[in-house]
Amino acid sequence: MLDNMNKHQGFTVFITGLSGSGKSTLANNLALGLSGNRNRKVTLLDGDIVRKHLSQELGFSKEHRNVNVERVGFVASEITKHGGIAICALIAPYASSRNNNREHISRYGGYVEVYNATPIDVCENRDSKGLYAKARQGIIERFTGVNDPYEQPESPEIVIDTTHLSPDDAVHEVLTYLKQEGYID
């Protein structure tokens, strides 16, 4: 548990998992849950929005994906350094870039990795855009989980499978952890 001096430090919640696993839903609901009665600003960094506004020139090669994740990590570290709460929701498929973010952000405050471990078949069934089907047909190259790897986190603070877990229950799990560890009251 964090000591009292660090109780109101900035921190980052980094949510990672496959496309369709529920990262954005969890992140949005968590942001709402944290913003209501806290003295700290909450910033949501969603992968789709970041790609559109901060990383639009990047493709989906391993190098470009790592650059995207590290950009998000830099922004999150600045938020954390200044006492805010950063909630990041990205596929972030490679362990190396996630580990680099953990190391960098932890210099400035707390870091909580949430692995959304929803199985790929559930993610595919949720896919309203048909991205998984296009990847399986070879129309989309380098699609994480189909024709590009997803390296599962080795030791995330929280593991959530949203197959049978409601969005409210998933948020409750994260908030409970944050309270137990002294990040929030």
CA distance 153 to 166: 22
- Using CA atoms, how far residue 165 sits from 90, 112, 117, 126, 173, in Å, is 20, 20, 12, 14, 10
Q: Give me the pLDDT at residue 185, please.
A: 84
185 part of a folded domain? no
Answer yes or no: is pLDDT of 154 > 60: yes
Lowest mean pLDDT among 9-23, 29-43, 152-166: 29-43
Helix axes 95-106, 62-81, angle to 10 degrees: 20
Average pLDDT (51-59) is 84
CA distance 88 to 13: 6
CA distance 174 to 185: 13
Q: In what order do the strands lie in the sheet with 85-90?
A: 42-46, 85-90, 11-17, 110-116, 158-160
Answer yes or no: is pLDDT of 98 > 70: yes
Q: pLDDT tens digits, residue range 68-80? A: 999 999 999 999 9
Query: Looking at the whole model, is its pTM more than 0.85?
Result: yes
Q: Which domain holds residue 78?
A: 4-180
133 part of a folded domain? yes
89 part of a folded domain? yes
Q: Give me the pLDDT at residue 37, please.
A: 59
User: Which amino acid would we find at residue 71?
Assistant: R
How many structural domains is the chain composed of? 1
Max avg pLDDT among 4-8, 17-21, 181-185:
17-21
Average pLDDT (60-65) is 88
- Using CA atoms, how far residue 97 sits from 100, 169, 172, in Å, is 5, 29, 27
CA distance 77 to 171: 22
Answer yes or no: is pLDDT of 60 > 90: no
Report which secondary-structure segment, H or E, holds 23: helix 23-35
Q: Give me the pLDDT at residue 56, please.
A: 79
27 part of a folded domain? yes
Average pLDDT (79-95) is 96
Q: What mean pLDDT, rounded, does the chain reach?
A: 92
98 part of a folded domain? yes
171 part of a folded domain? yes
Q: Report the CATH number that the domain containing residue 61 is assigned in CATH.
A: 3.40.50.300
Q: pLDDT tens digits, residue range 122-144? A: 999 999 889 999 999 999 999 99
